[in-house]
Amino acid sequence: MSPDRTTEDFRFDRDTRVEKLADGEFAATLTDAWTTFTSHPNGGYVLGAALNALRQNLSQPDPLAVSAFFLRPAAPGAATARTEVVREGRRTATGQVRLEQGGKEILRATATYGDLSPDPSARVLTLDEPPRLPAPEDCPVPPEFDNPEGLGIARSVDYRYPGRPGWLDGRRDGRPHAEFWMRFADGREPDTHALASMVDFAPPAVLEIGEFATITVELSVHVRARPAPGWLACRVFTKHVSGGLHEEDMEIWDSTGTLVAQCRQLAMLL
């Protein structure tokens, strides 16, 4: 899938679709197909709708860096995105977007877009490696993932873990670190636009220490390459929990073993 293509065939594209109202202003409708443990739509999904509005006015095709602040919980329903082009350069374009519901701002993001077309002459240095996982078809699917109560995102996204996560059985003494496969449940292939949302699709690493209610305060995303088709190998981890806050890092590697996206977020425990 090319980075600027959208289609009504897939849920993510339908649910992040926007309609232009005026110059820089777009209407969106958030759905309940991406709800999390907090009962609110997943922040990455909400960001996806906001970025879908922003990219309409930018000349470059791929999000490179995104910083988003989540000001209020989103809810299924109508939303308005107000966008601003900050700068259009030769290699990058930068803009801002504010997403509002009921007259109140729920998200504000700044993003720089560029062109991630493959460049064989570009230098590559990789000092890490993708998660070593069994093939997705060899990873068990816990029954809880087949019929998730109130978790819309678990019906929209497929997850494959190499073993049963301890948090499903109420364990609270695990290590906040997980490696797993992920893809859209309806077969949509990943692209750079989707990656900016998918970095927030992981079940939080702090589930392994018994923390089920966590909300994102700020999310920083780096999209590194256009992903190849297929399952995405993911690594998510937290190293520090204090003051009611924790950081979470996420890496996404494509089916060829290429790092395609990274993020760090600061989140609040509820």
* pLDDT tens by residue, 111-131: 999 999 999 998 999 999 999
Which CATH number is 184's domain given? 2.40.160.210
Are residues 12 and 46 in contact, defined by beta-carbon separation less than 8 angstroms? no
Give the pLDDT mean for 224-244.
98
Structural domains of the chain, count: 1
pLDDT band for 7, please (50, 70, 90 cuts): low
Q: What is the pLDDT of residues 35-59, one digit of tens each?
A: 998 889 999 999 999 999 999 999 9
Instruction: Identify the pLDDT of residue 69.
Output: 98
How far apart are the C-alpha atoms of 93 and 57, rounded to whole Å?
Answer: 10
pLDDT at 4: 41
What pLDDT, on the 0 to 100 scale, is given for residue 191? 98
* 265: containing domain: 11-115+132-269
On whether residue 2 sits in a domain, the answer given is no
pTM for the whole structure? 0.94
Q: What integer pLDDT is reported at residue 5 of this predicted model? A: 47
User: Does any domain span residue 253?
Assistant: yes
**What is the per-residue pLDDT across 249-261, written as a single tens digit (0 to 9) for each?**
999 999 999 999 9
Q: Evaluate whether residue 48 is within a structural domain.
A: yes
Say if 122 falls within a structural domain.
no
